[in-house]
Structure formats: structure tokens, C-alpha cells
Amino acid sequence: MIPLNAVLAVSAVLFAIGAVGVLTRRNILIVLMGLELMLNAANLSFVAFSRLSARPGMTGQIFPVFIIAVAAGEVAIGLAIVIALYRNRDTVNLDDVNILKG
């Protein structure tokens, strides 16, 4: 049996890798990938708590299903935005997308 803390540690590492990806990479596609990593880190935590906590139950397993669905939608919209952006601005570099600057 894998201890809960080990799974949570993996989840934390995954989340950190995703967050660093989101914050540091300039290519939007990589940023979206980082987002996926962060979401899945959260999913891993839910499943771990559902299975390995002091009071196991099904609630923690249902949440990842919703999150996966929402993530699919998010990716679909995100990729659509990326394509639209590329068509309009000829770039996927986030540094060049700053017209909201004050």
C-alpha cells in the first residue's frame, strides 16, 4: 500500500512543475500543457484522499471526472483562441500579446 503522503508529494511535484511551466514559458501551447499538469495534480490529490484518507468515500472520485470534462472544454477553447490568435497576429508568443497594457 502506497502511503498517502507519497501520493500527495507526487501531486505537489506535478503541480509545481505545471505552475512553473505556466509562469515561465512564452509559448502558449506549453502554457496550456502546464495547466493540464496542474489540473491533473489536483485530480491525483482528490483520488488519493478518496482512497487513502481516514474516511474513504466516492465523492473524491467523482470530482476528477468533472475536472477532466471541464479540462477538455478548457483545452478546446484554449486551442481555438490560440489558432485565432495565430491567424490574427502571426504569433503564439505571450510576450507579444500585450495590448491590454495600461
Partner 1 sequence: MLALIPLIPLFPLAGFLFAGLAGTRVSKRAVGLVACGAVLASFVIGLGAVVQLAGMDPGPAGDGRRFETDVATWLPLGSAAPVTFGFQLDPLSAVMLLVVSGVGFLIHLYSTGYMEHEAGFARFFAYLNLFMAMMLTLVLANNFLLMFVGWEGVGLCSYLLIGFYTDRMFDARSGMTCSDAGRKAFLTNRVGDFAFMLGMLFLLERFATLDFSTIMGTIDQHSADWYGAGLLTLVGILLFAGACGKSAQIPLYVWLPDAMAGPTPVSALIHAATMVTAGVYMLARCSALFWHAPAAMGIVAVVGAATAVFAGTMGLVQTDIKKVLAYSTVSQLGYMFLGAGVGAFVGAIFHLMTHAFFKACLFLGSGSVIHAMGGEQDIRRMGGLRKWMPVTALTFTIATVAIAGFPPLAGFFSKDEILLWALASGRGHWALWLAGSIGAAVTAFYMFRLTTLTFAGKFRGTPAQEHHLHESPRSMTVPLIVLAFLAVVGGWIGIPSLLTFGRDINVFHHWLEPVVGYHGAPAPEAGAAFWAPPPTLQLAGTGLHAVTIEEVAPPAQSGAPHTSIPAEAKRHGGHGGSSEGEPRHLPAAAEWGLIALAVAIAAGGMLLARRLYAAGGAGAPERLARAAGPVYVLLARKYWVDELYDFVVLRPFYALCALFHRIDVALVDGTVNGVRHATIFASHLSSAFDRWVVDLGVNAAGWTVRGFSRLVRALQTGQVQQYATAMLFGAVLLLSLWIVIK
**Other beta carbons within 10 Å of 45:** 21
Closest distance to partner 1 from the beta carbon of 19 (Å) = 6
CA 85 – CA 29 distance, rounded (Å): 12
Residues that bind partner 1 (CB under 8 A): 19, 22-24, 31, 94-95, 97-102
Q: Choose between 61 and 82: whose C-beta lies nearer to partner 1.
A: 82
Q: Choose between 18 and 64: whose C-beta lies nearer to partner 1.
A: 18
Tell me the H-state helices in 1-102. Answer: 4-24, 28-52, 59-89
DSSP state of 58: S
Q: Choose between 61 and 85: whose C-beta lies nearer to partner 1.
A: 85
Amino acid at 38: M
Closest distance to partner 1 from the beta carbon of 38 (Å) = 10
Closest distance to partner 1 from the beta carbon of 64 (Å) = 21
CA 34 – CA 20 distance, rounded (Å): 8
Closest distance to partner 1 from the beta carbon of 34 (Å) = 10
